[in-house]
Amino acid sequence: MTAFVASLRYEFRMQVRKRTVWIVPALTLVLFVLIGGSLLRDLFDPAERPVDPRTAVVGLAVQLNALLSIGFGCLLADRLIRDDRLRVASILDATPASPRARLLGKYVGVAAATAIPVSVAYFGFAAAYAVDTGEPRALGWALAAFGALFIPGLLFVAAFALAAPLVMPAPLFRVLFVGYWLWGNVVSPDMMPTLARTLVHPLGGYPLAAFFDFHGIDGQDTWAGPIPGATLNALRPDPTPALAWLSIVLLLIIAAAVLAGGHALRTRRIR
């Protein structure tokens, strides 16, 4: 437990102090505001914003999750290999601390630190929206959306971002990751086989549909369930709350499996 807490505390501290952990999401948000048409601006435009505060903050969650998770994954992509690069690993490996506990602490610590700017951005905009519209309920929905959408998705991304650079150069991971993010989240299932809208959908299609009754900002989209003629429809049952929980659990199980694989690989290499 001490090793987990120590690793979490210090990995968090080191990551949260990195200027780039703050600069990258900030620049992304600036670009996102500049292009116009995003909810970051529309939330404060009575003519453009959704009428329902739930739709507004959940829609904001979808947009920010889709966008900021990319920088989140890229910024985490060197954290596990960093100990070897900095030549600190041998000191840490010679301590009696369990390597598993250290890895878990590092995972939670760096993921939490890198998620801080994401959460600041999300809750900041949600709070501003709540004040602007006089809708305090929006903050409640924002909390629920953060728990059901951001946290599982970011933990899923973080596990791959930590483990994948053990088997490929970090830049190559970044290319494949952003390609995957587009393919696995946004590409329409009738265009090519994709994990979008399945139970393994890091943007949280099932929680969006079943927990938040979210059908896009305009109320026209569906985010989970089968598409006629699409492949992989077996992974797209009609959404229910139970399936939404299952979807979250599946993301966490995959994340745990990826981390365990990364741990096994690193252990095998150093020995």
Partner 1 sequence: MRIEISGLTKTYRGGVAAIDDLDLAVPTGMFGLLGANGAGKTTLMRILAGIVRPTSGRVTVGEHDLGTGAGRTAVQRDLGYLPQDLGVYPDLTARQFLDYVALLKGMDDRTVRRRRVGELLEVVALTEHADRRLRGFSGGMRQRVGIAQALLADPQLLIVDEPTAGLDPEERIRFRTLLSQFAGRRTVLLSTHIVDDIGQTCQEVAVLAKGRLIFRGTVEELTRRAEGQVWSVVTDGPAPTEGTVVSALPHDDGMRYRIVAPSAPRPGARLLEPGLEDGYLAVAAGRGNASRHPAAPPGRRP
Partner 2 sequence: MRRAGWAAFLGPPLALALGITAALANPQPTDLTTARILLGALEMAIPLAAAVACSSLVGRDPARELQLASPTPYRVTLLRRMIVTLGWTAAVAVPAAVVLIATGWWARWPENHGAFAGQLTWLAPTVGLSSLAFAAGAVFRSPGAAGALVTSVWAIQQFFAGSAQANRPGRLLYLFATTRGTTPGDWTANRLTLLGAGAALIVVALVLLGRSERLIGEEDE
Which residues make up the interface to partner 2 (CB under 8 A)? 14, 18-20, 23-24, 27-28, 31-32, 35-38, 66-68, 70-71, 74-75, 77-78, 82, 85-86, 169-172, 174-179, 181-183, 186, 190-193, 229-231
Closest to partner 2 by CB, 117 vs 243, is 117
With CB under 5 to 8 Å by kind, the binding choice for 87 among partner 2, partner 1, none is partner 1
Closest to partner 1 by CB, 10 vs 136, is 10
Whether the CB-CB separation of 208 and 59 falls below 8 Å is answered with: no
> Which structure tokens are listed for 133?
């519209």
With CB under 5 to 8 Å by kind, the binding choice for 128 among partner 2, partner 1, none is none
Helices then strands, each counted (H, E), the chain: 12, 0
Closest to partner 2 by CB, 1 vs 234, is 234
- As measured in angstroms, the least distance from the Cβ of 180 to partner 1 is 30
Residue count (the chain)? 271
- As measured in angstroms, the least distance from the Cβ of 36 to partner 2 is 5
Closest to partner 2 by CB, 189 vs 262, is 189
Q: Which helix (H) or strand (E) holds 233?
A: none
234 exposed, middle or buried (CB, 10 Å; 0-12, 13-18, 19+)? exposed
- As measured in angstroms, the least distance from the Cβ of 88 to partner 1 is 4
Residue 56: name the closest of 152, 115, 120, 125 by CA. Answer: 125
* CB neighbour list of residue 107: distance below 8 Å, 6 or more residues apart: 158, 159, 162, 259
